[in-house]
Chain A
Amino acid sequence: MKACDIVVIGGGISGILAAIAAAKKGKSVTMLRYGYGAFEIGGGLIDLMAYPIDKKVSSSLKNCIDTLPIDHPYTKLGLPQVEAAVEFFLDLTNEEGYAYEGSIDELHWVPTAAGTMKPTGLYPKSFDSNILKKADTIYLVDFKGLKDYYAKLTERMLEKTLGKDKKYEIITVDPRMDEAIGGRDVMLMDIARWLDTKEGQDDCVKQLQGIVKPGAAVMFPQVFGTIPSYDVYNKIKTALQCDITEALCIPPAAAGMRLSKLLHQAARKYGVKIIEKARVKSAIVTNGICEAVVASGVGKEHIYDAKSFILASGGYYSGGLEVLDHNKVQEPIFHLPVKVMSQKEDEWANVELFSNQKQPFALAGVTVNHEMCPIDEHGKKVLKNVFVAGRNLCGYDFCFEKSGNGVALASAYQAAVSAMEV
């Protein structure tokens, strides 16, 4: 008898979504995580797709899914399954009291600290650049001493993006962190945590109320608390009688933390067993079936057996894919076949970092079929009860396309479905 139904390798967004999807359907799930994923880098949005081919031309996922390359995870998954995954996610966030909005039908643009607009798919409603486009007056809120967000820079570039026919005004709020100024510096997390408290919320609102004129649009850095709830957003919005929005910033991202907490709440609620600091190093496989995976905990190895496995170990960042040498990529746990889009030395990385072509090193990854089951170059299943989800998949460049969490979500959902059928 196996210790559990499904072992999920990896506790980033793909891993945890797959774990929840299976646990919700009554399966016993153990999730092995090492590190905390990339939640606090990404900003908590679910980017479905924005630039399928060319950076200049944006498109919603619905409008371009049929034109994506054959290797693209979305192509393998198919529109119905992607839609099911999106529905699953929206329901989940709604249940947990921090409902996301959006759909695969249209792009939603959110403001960034660099004064640009970033297209996304599913989002918390506190991120909205439409309010900026509509407004005549935009207030940019800065915080005294904050080192990772600079309203003057944002204003300068926002003017270029939105045009000069709007009035821009910067207001600096004092978060009462003089102890940090000139010392350890004030960070975005500090402001978000300050706004977690009632005192912080009241203080912030009080400082803005005298200056902000009702009916205007107010832009904040990503600081509306670290809890998955709209309380802070609602409170400030109501008090100021303005449309307000958060902006995406450099890491760590408070909205990413909110999403991480939400998903963890849900995982625990549905009985997912989570083992931290568990780095899966290898697998025990017989006749194409994985019996168990081996995690090197501290000091000794730990064996986790299950009926099926979901490999959501991430990409280069988390170690799910390792680049041993120029152009040589390996998946270190199961040694699954990895496709590198080009073999020529000078095609591993584009000459330009910000290129209008997808980066070959970003496109590299594990090859799978429509069930997210790993396959070899002949299309034959390599392991029958292992399914792959997330960044380690081949065929997409999440930074170029703006498709990271979307592929994570859709592939995780399918991987859970496949794993449950074993």
Chain B
Amino acid sequence: MEKATVIVIGGGATGVGILRDLAMRGVDVMLLEMRDMVNGSSSRYHGLLHSGGRYAVKDSEAGLECIDENRILRKIGKHCVEATEGFFVRLPEDDPAYEKEWVEACKKINLPAIQIDLAEAWRLEPNLTHRAQAVYRVPDAAIDGFRMAWQNIESAKCYGGRVKTYTEVIKVNSSNGKVTSVTVQDYFTKQQYDIECAFVVNAAGPWAGKVAGFTNIPVNVQPDRGTLIAFNHRITNRIVNRLHKSSDGDIFVPHGSITILGTTSMSVDSPEDTQVTAAEVEYLLRIGELTFEDLRGFRILRAFCGSRPLYTADAAAKGRGVSRGFVILDHAQDGLSGFASICGGKFTTYRLMAEKMADLVCGYIHNTAICRTADEELVPDINADDIAAARKYFPSFGVKLAASRLGEKRFKNVIKRMEDEPLSREIVCECENVTVAEIKEMVKTADTASNYTLSDIRRKTRMGMGTCQGAFCTFRSLGMLAQNDLMKNHDAIEEMKDFLQARYKGISPVMWGNTVREVELMRGIYEDVLNIDGGMD
């Protein structure tokens, strides 16, 4: 039987943070994720690395926590954090009294919020409305959830950490009130097997309740849905917050080539309810266009949503709240030792959450190593020589982007491949400059043995996430995979349909303007010309 000392369930921010922390402390740890990495809440939010400004007034303790973790993440996560800085903008609709309160609150928590001249603000951000009344600069940053997770995994692997994707835990087995193993099922092959372990960490986010349910221990996680809109271009180079009491639709975050506007809050039954409605989109646009007047003139790429895992303590349960905002439940108190859940929390504090959980686990398994996750960078800087070498083969504007999403080792591999095989320099996704070499690398180093989907490649490379939303690269990528004998049991037509359907799911709530033209093109190519879903003769 396979074994690991600690099993971490859930490939989101919390899970990978715990994986890394434990691995760095020398623990034999394996992370199991039921689908692909970062498919849950951690990839479906606006990607704001809080400066703390949003909490300064309402919750100063959380604000302080944010500032500390913000600084740590910028240090250790240089390659997944874009230090864009941020603006807080007060509009005529916002209460001027709140501005005063906010400025004071920021001072109290040592958050450097500097007011700037409006003319300067408009020079820096030409799309910002001229109705703005006051603008402050804060050290907000944008963090790429995908890259952050992969880089935590890269780092963990250096210390012996292991990951299995498309591996769903279906049972937690115990004997005499102690955890002994987990039973898992491979998503593709449906094969079931056990993995022996001494401790199971439930870091399944909005699914934490379901996982705890395997042991009949109640953990009340209420999925709370947040909807976001992605625009095709960078409307702003900085994060732009509304200077008012935190509410819906008041953050714009630039992420690479796109801009994200979010978010909302709505209780839902299942974290798998991810279909956005046009009404939610309209709601966000009406708020957003106060800050950027021409907002409706910008093309919306897609709308998507994710579920926040909100935790409410059961009156009878004895949780140990380690810090405000997140909770660690040691289920030894519920009669099952070697099992703990971590609930609530926010992305910005994932490292701190992981540290607290790792402390608990290490206490249990008598490991005395200390946490070093704040001290060591997630991944080393990319070598300047490698960057120079890459420029010879990479498409323009693609070098730095690819370097940061590949990490040092894979970047080197990709450069070597491009050097040796000119055909691999071919650009598959022209909207985001993703080459054959990069896709090959991702397929070959995937964390799943049995199979992979085109969407996995998309998440790791940004293929299909640009302007044409897969209209061309869907076909090209499958072709190139077939050409290079990298297809497994794939039915290429089904892959095409699934991939484009997933793209469409985010496009259908925003089917107007240039977006509907893109869908017309997509249908024209796959439905009309290639007839991928019509009956044959």
Task: Report which of A160, A182, A361 forms a contact with B423, defined as CB distance below 8 A.
Answer: A182
Known: A323-B511, A354-B500. A119 touches B531 (CB 8 A): yes
Within 8 A of A (CB), among B241-263: none
The CA-CA distance from A28 to B407 in the complex, in Å, is: 65
Is there contact, CB below 8 Å, between A399 and B480? no
Q: How large is the interface on A (under 10, 10 to 19, 20 to 34, 35 or more residues)?
A: 35 or more
User: Binary interface profile of B, 469-503, with partner A (CB < 8 Å = 1, else 0)?
Assistant: 00010011011101101010001110011001100
Residues of A within 8 A of B528 (CB): 42, 47, 398-399, 402, 404
Which residue of chain B has the shortest Cβ distance to A43 in the bound complex?
B529
Which residue of chain A has the shortest Cβ distance to B282 in the bound complex?
A326
Residues of A within 8 A of B526 (CB): 354
Which residue of chain B has the shortest Cβ distance to A38 in the bound complex?
B524
Which residue of chain B has the shortest Cβ distance to A322 in the bound complex?
B513
Is there contact, CB below 8 Å, between B522 and A119? no
The CA-CA distance from A114 to B480 in the complex, in Å, is: 12
Is there contact, CB below 8 Å, between A56 and B535? yes
Task: Report which of A116, A161, A248, A323 forms a contact with B513, defined as CB distance below 8 A.
Answer: A323
- Ordered by A's residue number, 14 sampled pairs between the chains whose C-beta atoms are within 8 Å are A41-B524, A50-B534, A113-B479, A116-B534, A129-B537, A150-B478, A153-B479, A156-B487, A182-B393, A183-B425, A353-B508, A353-B522, A354-B500, A399-B527
| B389 at the A interface (CB under 8 A) | no
The CA-CA distance from A131 to B421 in the complex, in Å, is: 36
Task: Report which of A148, A151, A160, A354 forms a contact with B527, defined as CB distance below 8 A.
Answer: A354
Is there contact, CB below 8 Å, between A250 and B472? yes
Q: How large is the interface on B (under 10, 10 to 19, 20 to 34, 35 or more residues)?
A: 35 or more
| B214 at the A interface (CB under 8 A) | no
Task: Report which of B426, B497, B532 forms a contact with A147, defined as CB distance below 8 A.
Answer: B426
| B512 at the A interface (CB under 8 A) | yes
Is there contact, CB below 8 Å, between A149 and B393? no
The CA-CA distance from A264 to B529 in the complex, in Å, is: 23
Task: Report which of A41, A116, A185, A399 forms a contact with B536, defined as CB distance below 8 A.
Answer: A116
Known: A150-B483, A316-B517. A55 touches B533 (CB 8 A): yes
Is there contact, CB below 8 Å, between A323 and B426? no
Residues of A within 8 A of B519 (CB): 349, 353, 361
Is there contact, CB below 8 Å, between A353 and B423? no
Task: Report which of B492, B523, B536 forms a contact with A117, defined as CB distance below 8 A.
Answer: B536
| A51 at the B interface (CB under 8 A) | yes
Task: Report which of A107, A251, A323, A351 forms a contact with B516, defined as CB distance below 8 A.
Answer: A323
Known: A50-B534, A325-B512. A42 touches B476 (CB 8 A): no
Task: Report which of A115, A152, A250, A345 forms a contact with B529, defined as CB distance below 8 A.
Answer: A250
| A352 at the B interface (CB under 8 A) | yes
Is there contact, CB below 8 Å, between A57 and B535? yes
Is there contact, CB below 8 Å, between B278 and A345? yes
Within 8 A of B (CB), among A338-352: 345-346, 348-349, 351-352
The CA-CA distance from A114 to B476 in the complex, in Å, is: 11
Residues of A within 8 A of B428 (CB): 147
| A365 at the B interface (CB under 8 A) | no
Is there contact, CB below 8 Å, between A117 and B422? no
Is there contact, CB below 8 Å, between A248 and B529? yes
Task: Give the distance to chain A from B513, nearest Cβ to Cβ, in Å.
Answer: 6
Task: Give the distance to chain B from A140, nearest Cβ to Cβ, in Å.
Answer: 12
Residues of B within 8 A of A251 (CB): 525, 529
| A118 at the B interface (CB under 8 A) | yes
The CA-CA distance from A114 to B519 in the complex, in Å, is: 19
Closest 8 CB pairs of A and B: A150-B479, A182-B422, A153-B482, A353-B504, A118-B531, A182-B425, A354-B533, A399-B523
The CA-CA distance from A323 to B534 in the complex, in Å, is: 27
Is there contact, CB below 8 Å, between A402 and B534? yes
The CA-CA distance from A149 to B478 in the complex, in Å, is: 10
User: Binary interface profile of A, 331-370, with partner B (CB < 8 Å = 1, else 0)?
Assistant: 0000000000000011011011110000101100000000
Residues of B within 8 A of A4 (CB): none
Residues of A within 8 A of B425 (CB): 181-183
| A112 at the B interface (CB under 8 A) | yes
Residues of A within 8 A of B522 (CB): 353
User: Binary interface profile of B, 415-438, with partner A (CB < 8 Å = 1, else 0)?
Assistant: 000100011011110000000000
Task: Report which of A183, A326, A399 forms a contact with B512, defined as CB distance below 8 A.
Answer: A326
